[in-house]
Amino acid sequence: MPRPCPPFFLKTLLVLTLLGGRAAAAWASDEPVIVLGEVSVTGRSDARGPLKTRQVLTSVDILGSDRIEDRNVAQSWELLGLLPGIQLTETRMGAESGKPTFRAFNGEGYINGIKVLIDGIPSNVNSGNQRFIDMVFPLDIDSIEVVRGTNDPRHGLHAIGGSIDVVTRQGGNYGEARLSAGSFSTREVQIAFGQEADGFAQNYFVGHQHSDGYRTHSASERQAVGGKWFLSSPSGDLRLGLIARLSAQRAEEPGFMTAAQMAADRWQSFAHNANDGDTRDMRQASVHLDWKIRPDLHLSGRLYNNIYQDDRRVTFTGNSGLGNSPRQRRVWDEEQNGLSGRLTWRASAQLTLDGGVQLERQRNHYQRWRYAYALPTDFSQPTTTSNDDSYSLDNSAVFVQALVQATPTLRLVPGWRIDRFRGDTLINTSGLRGSLQDHGHINQPKFSMIWSPSASTSVYANWGRTFQILTGSRAPAYLTSASQTPFGASINTGQELGVKLALLDGLETRVALWRQDATDEVANMPSTGTTVGLGRTRRQGLDLQATLRASEQLRLWASHSLQEARVVQAYTASGVSLAGKEVFSTPRHLSNLGIEYSPDAQWRLTLQGRAQGSYYIDDLNAQGKHGAHVLFDLSVRRALSSQISVDLQVRNLANRQQAYAWYDSFFWPAGSAQAMFSPGAPRSATLALNVRM
């Protein structure tokens, strides 16, 4: 098993496990969910709509709006770092800045194992990357829900290790604004407005952010607007709504650097990167239907359209002897149209049946050009066209699950999901066509059980299967030649055993032991055409969590996740065995802790810390380990009145040096490949004014 975390983190976790307080628990103690912060509770009871996540799943964490709305982040995916067991891969290259992952799936972009939803709408791009998260600013978020494991039948494509659902604010009456300014000439404004009356709810949001960045040539401009309109019948049995949002970002890219370059000046950028940057536009529209047909029968439906457009110009090295490979312009134009329906029948107090149908149709276009050596790279005249591909991906799926209350203390949840994929590609430069590999019907049985012998104890176990299929615009996802060997779908089989305890008022702890085995796993990077067969892999780990509300003034939380991902059986292209090697870019431990102290209604002080271990950066584990860090953030809020408050946030309080690392084996001459780095941000401060109307 992995090595333990830094002693300070582990000791804090043990203290929380042993101490108790007086306040009430944040959530029902007989459910395995852990809640951080305050989560809005609607007027609907659990006996009405679809089955809630906390009723049928096990390792669930929910982050409330009060932990989110006053966070100052460069990109919204950073908010996930507040939750336990989350690895943040911080590439910090303009709009391509990073992403959150968990359960020993890394964020390199090769194995995209986490499903993302925004208000229940699928929100991954074709490759599985999580770029749509950045459409939503913190002030518009009501909660973030993370589901770990393989036992959730609601989601298929990209949900290999679990899912993230970002829930935005809907309904209510409020008007809020947040104005902030801070280090690196960062300025941000967020305005949120909601009004609800006579069965009609409307919510609006506008956000704008500018930053010069902490490195040379790393300026960014980001904005987002959104609206939500929901109409309910007088009885509340029928609800129909429309959600629309769009975002845009224009960002410079400072470029990766070698260890020697970073040691000389970690904030520099280079002449060859002077024209590097990204222009990214995203749109999302969805129609939502919720209908209580009768007291025991509920229907919900979602119709959505996602558009993702990205123009990235990137230079990986300034070496003149490498031809045009390291100088590329990559353009994505993706559109997803989807429909989902879900029917929930509460047959009796002991049995609830829940099932649904999901359809998604993708029509995508990917272009990639290469450019001649120049300082800086001249992106106006490409020398070669690497990709000009039009491709489709159609996904149809059905799922069913049952909630069986076998005894007053035992809940059983069997489930099943079936996915089917079709598609084709056209390589426009040659006219060559190819069909998506035929994976047949991908069957995914699931089973969970929750035993609650008392109101303070919940023991749970689950078993389930998920899958990985290759995506992209060319082989190996699409068979464009009769000589190509098909890749079967990689099947992940996961199992978990856990216990949640709330033996003392205000104290909740959860311990989970899990394992996930995959067949024929592939590390696939569609944007570069890079495919590495990892073969059989095993991921396993131990999650420890504790939250404590010691009093009305003091809250504490801590978590520690031990994890590892290893190759069980595979070989490199040259015939070297990978058996026993760790999957690259996967740290062995992740830790999180925090303390929130409010001596009175006017003041609130929050200290948040997170740590991760080092990781190998290559498949042979021969290039050493990198990436370990321990970081702390401090926030102080002062309420000037019931409507106005100010807060000061200091990130990387101790000014620790850390850097994202990857192994550049593609763009260096043979024998000189090396680690490349993107340094993390130094200490920074932000002052914000919050106004509620």
User: According to the model, what pLDDT value does residue 483 have?
Assistant: 78
Residue 293 lies in a domain: yes
| Cα torsion through 64, 67, 68, 70, rounded to 10 | 140
In three-state secondary structure terms, 628 is coil
What is the domain count for the chain? 1
Phi-psi region of 98 (alpha: psi -120 to 50; beta: other; left: phi over 0): left
Model-level pTM? Answer: 0.93
Segments of the chain scoring below 50 in pLDDT: 1-6, 8-10, 12-29, 42-46
3-state secondary structure at position 402: strand
- Specify the pLDDT at position 30: 56
Strand, coil or helix: what is 187?
Answer: strand
d(CA 493, CA 466): 7
Structural domain contains residue 1? no
Judge whether 305 lies within some domain. Answer: yes
* 130 in any annotated domain: yes
User: Cα separation of 34 and 56, whole Å?
Assistant: 14
Q: What is the DSSP letter of 27?
A: S
Residue 274 in domain: yes
Q: What digits encode the pLDDT tens for the residues 371-391?
A: 999 999 999 999 999 999 999
**Calpha distance 470→526 (Å, rounded):** 9
pLDDT score, position 52: 78
Is 541 within the bounds of a domain? yes
Give the CA distances from residue 198 to residues 202, 203, 290, in Å, rounded to whole numbers and listed in that order: 11, 15, 18
List, in sequence order, every residue forming a beta bridge with 591; answer none if it has no partner.
560, 611
C-alpha span between 26 and 38 (Å, rounded): 8
Position of tokens 């970073």?
262
Q: Is the dihedral of CA 145, 150, 154, 158 positive or negative?
A: positive
- What's residue 440's pLDDT? 94
Instruction: Find out whether 98 and 52 touch, Cβ atoms under 8 Å.
Output: no
Give the pLDDT score at 645: 97
Range of the domain at 345: 7-692
Q: For position 128, which CATH number holds?
A: 2.40.170.20
Collapse the DSSP code of 386 into the 3-class scheme (helix H, G, I; strand E, B; otherwise coil) and give the result: strand
Closest CA to 437 of 400, 501, 393: 393
Quote the distance between the C-alpha of residue 506 and its chain's center.
Answer: 29
Peptide bond into 476 cis (omega under 30): yes
The answer to whether residue 265 is domain-embedded is yes
Of 214, 213, 215, 278, nearest to 248 (Cα)?
278
Q: What is the pLDDT of residue 4?
A: 43
pLDDT at 45: 43
CA distance 619 to 635: 39
Partner residues linked to 315 by β-bridges = 327
Tally the C-alpha atoms within 13 A of residue 266's C-alpha that lie toward its C-beta.
Answer: 14
- Tell me whether residue 2 is in a domain: no
Tell me the longest C-alpha to C-alpha distance in the chain: 72
